Amino acid sequence: MDASASTAASTPFSTLIRTASHEQHTEAENSTFMSDMLGGRLGVDAYRRYTEQLWFVYRALESTAGSLADDPVAGPFLRPELARTTELERDLAHLGGPDWRSGLEPLPATARYAARIEECARDWPAGYVAHHYTRYLGDLSGGQIIRGTAEKTWGFARKGDGVRFYVFEAIGNPAAFKREYRELLDALPVDDLEKQRVVDECKRAFALNTAVFQDLGREFPLTA
């Protein structure tokens, strides 16, 4: 076994997946759309469009979860307190009125992202875990920064309608929750080769997110 393989084997999987996606995380965080939106340079219409994309993504994650409840690999990750669809729907009703859903279509990159999640949920539970990690652990971390900025920029009530997506009412201690989540990752009952595939799928998940930001950036360009 060479040195890198032995390091990979002895490194907890939660560390491996975080480290492997670190560079793409920075890229997503610093994407033009995110920077413009969180820099206060875009209107609430951009935030609404972004939230609509999240709704398609979480619907893909959560409408498929039922079929995975008893799966030995993905099942342990499915915690009801993480579910975001209802919160997104409340935010969207606030942002777009009661008819927010009529005529709503995903951006092309969002449709590709949701389709990939659905494919994993159907055919590859460990791949679904990669998507689950990429979204929910991010929402529990950086999501809190986004919430604060959104409240300030567009005047939403603190933790109220418009930003409920970022509020995990049923998770009293996010740090402890994330610790437990990482323990689940570390105990993922798959071999090293499959773990590497999960890491690759996580990178794919980040790339799919970045592509959504690119589509959004095209729809909301800054006129210099």
Residues that bind ligand HEM (CB under 6 A): 18, 25, 28-29, 34, 38, 133-135, 137-138, 141-142, 145-146, 206, 209
Please say which residue, 8 or 38, places its beta carbon nearer to ligand HEM.
38
> Does an H or E element contain 176, and which?
helix 174-186
Q: Which is nearer to ligand HEM, 18 or 93 (CB)?
A: 18
Q: Rounded distance, CA 75 to CA 213, Å?
A: 30
Nearest approach, Cβ of residue 219 and ligand HEM (Å) = 17
**Which residue lies nearer to ligand HEM by CB, 54 or 121?**
54
Q: How far apart are CA 3 and CA 99, in angstroms?
A: 57
Name which of 101 and 108 has its Cβ closer to ligand HEM: 108
In the complex with ligand HEM, the residue whose CB is nearer, 101 or 145, is 145
CB of 35 to ligand HEM, least distance (A): 8
d(CA 211, CA 112): 9
Helix runs in 1-97, H state only:
3-10, 13-20, 22-29, 32-38, 44-63, 85-96
Supply the minimum distance, in Å, between the C-beta of residue 141 and ligand HEM: 3
* Min CB(139)–ligand HEM separation in Å: 8
Q: CB-side exposure of 38: number of CA atoms within 13 Å?
A: 17
> d(Cα 208, Cα 116) in Å, to the nearest integer?
9
Which residue's C-beta sits nearest to ligand HEM? 142
Integer Cα distance of 224 and 221 in angstroms: 9
Q: At closest approach, how far in Å is the CB of 177 from ligand HEM?
A: 12
